[in-house]
Every structure is written in C-alpha cells, then in structure tokens.
Chain A
C-alpha cells in the first residue's frame, strides 16, 4: 500500500521541434507497492506534466505498446514493478530506434522487415472453407506454438547488439516469425521466406549472443528460431550439392 514514500522518475524527453538533443526530466511520484513503471508515468501525465508522451494501452503485457528502457534494460513498463527498482528509476525510449518524441520511437524499420518475411500462411493450394479445417495434431501445433507468442514489443531489437551494429539485420522478432510459419504444418512458403531469412542480412548476421531471448517478456526464444533456421539453411545448401539437388 501507499505511504509517504516517493521515488524519482527520470524520464528522457525529446521534442524534435524544440529540442536539439534529448535530455532528462525528473519527477517525484508516490511509491505504491503494486505499481508498475507505467503507473508512475501515468501519475506524471495526469498530475504533474501533461506534455510527456509514451505509448501504452492494455496494461497486461499483451498489446506490446509500452516497451522502453528502464534503468538501461528493455522492458514492458506495464510489467516492471517499482518494487524491483531503487528510489530513482531512469526511463528512456527503446534503444536502436530513432526517437520520434519523448519515449515514442519510430518503428517503420521493423514493420518493413516484418512485412518482408511474409508472415502469413502460403499454402500450396487453397482448400475451400466448406471442406472444413486442416487437421493439426497437438504435437504439430507444439512445434511452432511458442513462436506465435511474439507481441511485437521490440524489446529484442533494443537488446540485440547485431541490430545496433548493422541496422540492415532483419532481426529477432521478424526472423522468429518467419520460422513460426515455416514450422506450421499448413504452410509451404519456406522457400520464399528463405530469400529474406537466409540472406546476408538474415540469420547469418546473428552472432548468437541470445540477448533477444533473455529480454522477451513472452518467453519466445528468437535465438533458437534463428539457430534452427541456420541449420535448415545449411541443410538446403548441402542438399543442393547432391545429385538431383536444386
């Protein structure tokens, strides 16, 4: 419960029309045991400074809007509890993305890459709806299920040293989504996706630091998806060398 305790929230501010560079602004907010960092930000917005901008919606870690750097680590602010931090909490926009305004980053690059990997079922032939569902056993579902859980919060891009180094890198969430569809028993689009996944900017760019999997709030393992894609691509290469290979 709340008492007289307070904490200081150091919020990175950047308004491109007036600010030459980002700077920090501090706000003193009440410490409430059950609060997450997002609650503290909302306190600021409602009571101290209406000009602070950030994205949020669901407050239950499923819409993926409120990713930001909290004390230097990429987190969903709706799932980062004040009680797990000290009396001063530093909040910044997600790393490796251009800042649009305050804690809001430009995510055009991710959207473009996500679009490029063709994140949808590519079926050999379309079965009419009147013929009912495709059969898919729980084991077949299990094979790709964890990779469907990505909420596109982009914490993995903010954690990825490779993406920092080379912005052309397709990146964890997009590659992992390509893998999700490749593994789906209803899909036969892998060859098309490989044009992106197995390209120079695709899985081979990953140096397997695994930071993406560490920060994922939904326990998706993009690093595993990337490693599995590498193995599959290597198999493609050797298969192509065999007589009759493509």
Chain B
C-alpha cells in the first residue's frame, strides 16, 4: 500500500481541522501536516453555521457570566474545567480570526459588534451578518493557504485508525479520485470530522455529516461520550430542515402558535415583551424551546400543514431594513425554499435535529485515551456543552479546542511520541483494506444502503426524538441492532474506482449505524431527564445517579458496553436552570 509519512495527520478540514492545522504550522513550521478530508475544506459543514460565536469582549460582560450561562445551559453535565478553558480562550481566538480577515459585523466606531443569543445573560455573540460559519470557515481555509507545511489531501475518505499498543500511528484513507487506499503514517492524528446528524431524517446537517470520525475512533477503542444528547434546533424550515438562525430571535423575532399567541410564556420562560429580553422567552435555550413545540403540538395548538405540524416565526415587526442588514440569508432562504417573504409573512418552522453534544471522549487537552490521538469540534466531547449546547458556543469550541489539539499534538510528538515505532502499522493497514475490499467486492446483497438508512432514520426519530420513553427506546435499540446486523447484507453495485459514491455512501452508512446505536443505547440507560434528553417516564433530573457522562464502548459484538464517568465540577454546584425570571 502506498504510504505517506507525515508528522501529524488531521482528519477533517472544517473549522476545527483547519484551526488545528494552523496551530501545528505556527507551533513548528518544520513539521509536516497531512490535512485529510472527504470534501474540499470550504464544503465542510462549518459553512452552514449562521448566527455567531460567543466570546466575552464588551465592558458589561464577564468571563464568569459566560461560564455560568454555559454550565447552566448544559444542565450541569458540562465539565467545568473544560468550560473554564473555553470561556477564557475564546475572546483571543475570535480576535485572532479578526486579524486573519474575518469580516465581523461592526459597530459605528469600528469595533466588533455583538448580538444577543439564547441562554446568554449578556450580548456576547460575535457575528458576520447571518453567515458567521461561512465566513469563519473561508477565513480559516484561506489563511491556511499561507502555511506551506499544511499539505491538503482533499476528497480522501478516511476509513480506519491505526492503533497498536495503545498508540495511534496513522490512518488509512481512500483517494476518491482513484479509489486507491493509502496509509498515512503519522506520529499523531487529530480527528476533526464533525457530527453525525444525518442519522436522523429531519436535520439541518449536510449530507456529509455521517459521523465517520466518531465511528472510526469508537471502533479503535475510544469511548463515545454522552451520545444520547442530541440538539433539536427550534427553528427549521419545513421539507428541507434548513436552519433559520437563532439570530432571528436575537434580533427580536417571535414564536407564535396557530392562534398567533407567544406560547413560550406558558412554559416558565418569562413574560412576552415587545423587544428581546436576554435569557427569556424566545431567548431561552434550544432544548427548552424545542420541548415547548412538542407540548404545543400535544395541546393541538400547532399549525397543520402538508409537511407536518408547524409553529410560526414572526419577523415582520423587525422591518425590511434591519432584516436586510442583519439577516439577509434568512430572507433569501425563506423566499427561495418555501416561497415565504419574512418581511410581510409568517414563517412556518418546526424543531429540527441540529447538533450532537456527545462525541469522541477527550480530556481538556483534546486528547483521547489512545496516545497520539486527539479530537476537536463537533465530533469530540470535551465536554463544554453538557446536556444542551448554547447557540453560538460551537463555532467557539472548534476554534479553541482545534488549536489546543494542534498544539498538544506538537508537544506530544516532540516528547513521548518522538519515535514512531510503526512496525505493525502495515498489517493494520492491510486489515483495513481487507475490510473495505470485502464490502466493495461483495456481489450478492439483499439490502440497500438507502433502504437501511431510511429505516435507521425513522427508528431514531420515532424512538429517540425530543421526548423518549423506556418502551420506545427499547424498540429503537432492537431495531438499530437489527439494522446493524443486516448491514453485512449490503452490496455495492458500482464496481468502478473513480469517485465511487456508491461505496462511500455504504461506508458512511456503517459509520452512522455505529453512531445511531450509541445514541439509542445511551438514551435507554439514562433514566432521568436532563437538557436535551427528556424521558417521559423519568421526568426529573437525577443528580444522585446521573450527574455522570455516559461512556459507550465498542465491543465488536451486537451491542455496546456502557459505563459512566463523573462530571468535573469546579465552582458551580448543580442547581435549577432559570430562564425568564430572576435567579
């Protein structure tokens, strides 16, 4: 097998991967970097983030406030040492991006402007109109071009991590242009491959969000942490699930039911006022707002449409000028995709799967339990998001922990990981190739990729959605376990080598099934309600038994093994989450 030898291999070239690559290049320009991605960097899903990135910069704000908002927003499942690192570092990261050319929206004075966001006590969300992720990604991609040591391997699909004696020594990837599998022999590997929202049918995620890096780490022996915590964003467009940014509500949009009533006032989220009040009503956290939709639906107060039940997002009172300036993409998306003009019309929306709080288990150094293996961004769980991520913390997370992963990988390969003893790597790579070849060359299969994917999608939505029960989760677990077993009966029809998406989709389905299984089993075992994980049969948070991270381990068998890890608490003891009234 062709072998590419590099100091550090990075899997994924979205926000986290690019930031990690730049951190490595800046730490030591003599180190070689292989930046491997199944898509060109600017196609990565960071591109779709809209609203902004939170970081304390204004004089009325404090680092402690951002810390508290994040910890409480995560329903105390966050690791507070990680949150401390995050809130302290993010203002510097956002400023650095400013120096790199990010076109942040500005105040008249020329200073960076901030906007309100859900669950945040003070306005602290930096934004570039409503295309913040797009601008962050492109700024990072373009800046990365400056560093000659960053060698990109665009459109390479990574398949397996090489792990021997508890140390990661590389990764195999298929060059999609030729179909040839190559081995990247590396002293350290950083996974920045994003989330896996495509395990659900109705999602804001792009088609590439199939959890490949999560599954790869999981199969290599790293536990996936808190996978049952899946964020529904309250405002997705019908049919496509296209996201309308929380920035809409930050700018003052209302959520109303079929009677035009601002229903959030019925759910302990404060009283309706004409202009936005921080941490109140429409600026409550995403988990609570998505749960309110479900409650309204049960009361029959949502709007029936051919595309399912909806509520309305009302932006009309903001006026065309402000909408053009602050939310231009929202206007375009609504007009193009559902033929509704938010300037004059109510916009139908419903909750949509958006983000995975869980992911590859790392410590605050972005290090996994496997030596030389790091992870950052949505694929990782460090964990600053706990049971519910606050809007505008994910773009910050990929910057802060992407950079930390890069710097720590450098430190590692200069110390403990200096010598790469990769004697067994060739054998591991051959095993990886044999695994993929078996899938590729199989001729008689009774199952189809799209068929199994649909079943998996429906199963998770039915059993592991906004509200969950023991009975439904048991069904979901059984079904996912069954679909995973049937996966071996899939055969790839396309036997050609060049850009074979039939093969790639098949491998992606394998990743998604692993991810789906950890979500369903994690949810079944967590007998409490916390943040985005709501159990109708266990409606209360249970700090005695579940102030713990779920650790899901790959066993090679039909089902995963689950154990738990204590949450790290530094200064904030678990308390009631309070929105819309004084704390």
Contact = CB atoms under 8 A, between A and B. Distances in A.
A130 B338 CA distance: 45
Nearest to A16: B498
Interface stretch (B134-142, B351-359, B432-440): B134-142
B501 A58 contact: no
A58 B194 CA distance: 14
B108 interface: yes
Contacts of A134: 98-99
Interface in A109-142: 111, 114-115, 118-121, 123, 126-127, 129-130, 132-138, 140-141
B449 A100 contact: no
A3 interface: no
B221 interface: no
B95 A132 contact: yes
B556 interface: no
A100 B499 contact: yes
Contacts of A104: 499
B496 A57 contact: no
Contact of B108 (A107, A138, A144): A138
A17 B497 contact: yes
B457 to A, nearest CB: 12
A119 B497 CA distance: 34
Contact of B99 (A60, A181, A186): A186
Interface stretch (A61-69, A162-170, A224-232): A61-69
Nearest to A18: B496
Given A120-B145, A141-B103, A62 B48 contact: yes
Nearest to B501: A53
Given A57-B208, A140-B110, A64 B43 contact: yes
> Which residue, A18, A60, A140, has most C-beta atoms of chain B within 10 A?
A60
Contacts of A136: 106, 110
A196 interface: no
B494 interface: yes
Contact of A50 (B95, B96, B493): B493
A102 interface: yes
B25 interface: no
* Central interface residue in A114, A148, A151, by most chain B CB within 10 Å: A148
Given A58-B206, A141-B106, A120 B39 contact: no
B22 to A, nearest CB: 11
Contact of A133 (B108, B111, B177): B111
B103 A145 contact: yes
B113 to A, nearest CB: 9
Contact of B134 (A59, A151, A186, A187): A151
B101 A63 contact: no
A194 interface: no
A42 to B, nearest CB: 9
Interface string A194-233: 0000000000000000000000000000000000000000
Nearest to A127: B99
A62 B135 CA distance: 11
Interface centre among A62, A64, A145, A181 (most CB of B within 10 A): A62
B360 interface: no
Given A120-B146, A137-B110, A148 B493 contact: no
B450 interface: yes
Contacts of A187: 101
A7 to B, nearest CB: 18
Interface residues of B, number: 63
B489 to A, nearest CB: 15
Interface in A25-45: 34, 45
B98 A133 contact: yes
Interface in B480-528: 492-494, 496-502, 505
A154 B329 CA distance: 20
Interface in A1-22: 1, 15-18
A187 B101 CA distance: 8
A229 to B, nearest CB: 18
Contact of B177 (A100, A114, A140): A100
Given A64-B42, A129-B95, A59 B240 contact: yes
Interface string B145-173: 11000000010000000000000000000
B446 to A, nearest CB: 15
Given A18-B496, A47-B450, A62-B134, A57 B99 contact: no
A133 B94 CA distance: 9
Contacts of B449: 50
B76 to A, nearest CB: 32
Nearest to A147: B103
A18 to B, nearest CB: 7
B45 A53 contact: no
Nearest to B239: A34
A177 B139 CA distance: 12
B570 interface: no
Given A62-B47, A120-B101, A17 B143 contact: no
A190 interface: no
B557 interface: no
A206 B95 CA distance: 37
Contacts of B111: 133, 135
Contacts of A64: 42-43, 47
B237 to A, nearest CB: 9
A115 B148 CA distance: 11
A129 B208 CA distance: 34
Contacts of A129: 92, 95-96, 99
B336 interface: yes
Contact of A57 (B39, B101, B243): B39
B498 A137 contact: no
Q: Kindly name the residue among A57, A64, A101, A140 whose own CB sees the greatest number of chain B CB atoms within 10 A.
A: A57
Contacts of A126: 99
Nearest to B242: A60
Contacts of B92: 129-130
Given A102-B499, A148-B135, A59 B450 contact: no
Nearest to A34: B239
Contacts of B207: 56-57, 59
B48 A46 contact: no
Nearest to A122: B146
Interface string B98-132: 11110111111111100000000000000000010
A76 B142 CA distance: 22
A50 B494 contact: yes
A176 interface: no
Contacts of A119: 142, 145
The 7 A-B residue pairs with the shortest CB-CB distance, nearest first, are A135-B110, A57-B206, A46-B450, A101-B499, A51-B494, A121-B101, A119-B142
Given A57-B206, A58-B47, A111-B154, 19 more contacts: A34-B239, A45-B450, A59-B206, A59-B240, A59-B242, A60-B48, A62-B48, A62-B329, A63-B42, A63-B45, A100-B499, A114-B145, A121-B143, A133-B95, A133-B111, A135-B110, A137-B108, A137-B109, A138-B105
Interface of A: 1, 15-18, 34, 45-47, 50-65, 79, 100-102, 104, 106-107, 111, 114-115, 118-121, 123, 126-127, 129-130, 132-138, 140-141, 144-145, 148-149, 151-152, 177, 181, 184, 186-187
20 contacts: A15-B498, A16-B498, A51-B493, A51-B494, A57-B43, A60-B240, A101-B498, A111-B154, A115-B145, A119-B145, A120-B145, A130-B92, A132-B95, A133-B112, A137-B109, A138-B106, A138-B107, A152-B42, A186-B99, A186-B101
